[in-house]
Structure 1
Amino acid sequence: MSENGNGRGARGFLTRLVRQSRLYWLKVLRIKAEPEVVARGIACGVFAAWLPVVPGVPFQILVAIVSSFILRGSKVAAFLATWISNPLNWVFFYFVTYKVGGFFSPFEHLSIRIESFDMEAIKQLANVGWRGLVVMIIGGTIIGIPSGVVAYFISLPLIRGYRKRRALRQMRKTTSL
């Protein structure tokens, strides 16, 4: 096949990725809840996305849903927003959370020192153990809280604007009939 949107090449992959991202965003926009509720759900999901993925445990999703329950946000929006962290960018997220968490870590000496973002860093991150996991949770929490707040304030006007435009389109459609 060719390297167009339907092909298997890099361009086709990126096209599918963009389409899938847009589909998830439209699903979030169409959630039947108040914009503030949806934005709180997005904030909870973005916060949880900075936490590490624990194999066999849907840790990010559990944190997103529990925090959206506590903050009265949309659970669906929280679930979908966790996908900003995905297998394509986990290494970046882990690297950043490990570096930030290491700065605030209660552990004096960890067995690894990550200085650059390369294959060696990936190997080291894969073998950090429970101490490294705690460091990444600390770093993820420190980065996730402000990220969630920013996500709330960015998504709220976007949701309101989308719904306003949609209502205007519906009104035009009904008045032109």
Structure 2
Amino acid sequence: MVFKRRDRRPIWKIVLEFFWPRGGWGRAAQYVQHRLRRLPDPPHRIARGIFAGVFTTFTPFYGLHFVTAALIALAMRGNLLAAILSTFFGNPLTYVPIGVASMKTGYWLLGLEGSEEHGGLVHKFVKAGEDLWDNLVSIFYGSKVDWTDLGIFYDEVFYPYMIGGILPGLLTATVCYYVSLPLITAYQNRRKGALKARLATLRKKKAENGTPGE
């Protein structure tokens, strides 16, 4: 096949590059920043897209961040591609502090108290996954369906995360909006100025070449 990789990467390398891409996260961030600045859209629409993408990273809808960011950007009349690119604000290096901030805020807003009665956070994730798998298998084997662990996960993890992510998400997204707007505006103005200067130079050369006697 034409687009098939010749050097098939082993599983360990795929996992490693997920947590640490080639060139590091700094280079990846520079690439996203470069793409955002060069988007062919007014600065305020790109900034709105950035707001939508950054805010989405504070939601627990993992696996659906692209879709969620695009829907929010659509509602805000922001740039869809900017929203999708900005979801990379959430990555393996930032998801831990984002998750901690969202969970703690959620527990505070809902008046909940942390409890180890049903195990720690990792244990709840594992048990919820087992519930999903067991209930899926039960369709074929007719075994009893039990959503207890998934219900615990929703009450003690997903719902507090969803509610708690709103405040830090809005705060962080707003800061990113007001920081990116003047930077994108300045970049686009500078780029327009460079294009005008280049066009003026070409016109001057064309006029000089067309001067009689030369």
**TM bin (shorter chain):** 0.7 to 0.9
Among 22, 26, 45, the residue aligned to 2:30: 22
- Summarize deviations over 1:109-160 as a string: whole Å, max 9, x none: 55349xxxxxx97736745711211101111112112222222211110110
Q: Aligned partners of 2:70 and 2:90: how far apart in 1? A: 15
1:67 is aligned to 2:92: no
Structure 1 residues 147 and 70: CA distance shift in structure 2, 3 A: same
Which letter maps to 1:151?
C
Name the residue aligned to 2:9: none
Contact 1:112 1:124 in 2 (8 A): no
Q: Which stretches in structure 1 are left out of the alignment for 5+ residues?
A: 1-7, 114-119
Task: Compute the displacement of 1:77 (Å).
Answer: 0.6
Residue 51, structure 1, aligned to residue 59, structure 2: yes
| 2:136 corresponds to 1:111 | no
TM-score computed with the length of structure 2 as normaliser: 0.64
Asked if 1:129 corresponds to 2:153, the answer is: yes
Contact 1:45 1:81 in 2 (8 A): yes
Whether contact under 8 Å (2:107, 2:113) holds in the other structure is no
Alignment partner of 1:133: what SS?
A: helix
The share of aligned pairs that are identical, in percent, is 25
Q: Give how far 1:93 is off.
A: 1.1
Q: CA deviation at 1:13?
A: 6.3
| Aligned match of 1:138 | 163
**For residue 147 of structure 1, what is the aligned residue in structure 2?**
172
Question: Are 1:38 and 2:46 counterparts?
Answer: yes
Q: Distance in 2 between matches of 1:18 and 1:123?
A: 28
Q: Relative to structure 1, is the Cα distance of residues 89 and 121 closer, same or farther in structure 2, using a 3 angstrom cutoff?
A: farther
Count of residue pairs the alignment pairs up: 157
Residue-by-residue CA offset, 1:6-39 (whole Å, 9 max, x unaligned): xx9xxx9684322221111111111111111111
Paired letter, 2:39:
I
Q: Which of 178, 200, 211 is the aligned partner of 1:175?
A: 200
Residue type of the alignment partner of 1:41: G
Structure 1's 102 and 169: CA in aligned 2 closer, same or farther, altered over 3 A? same
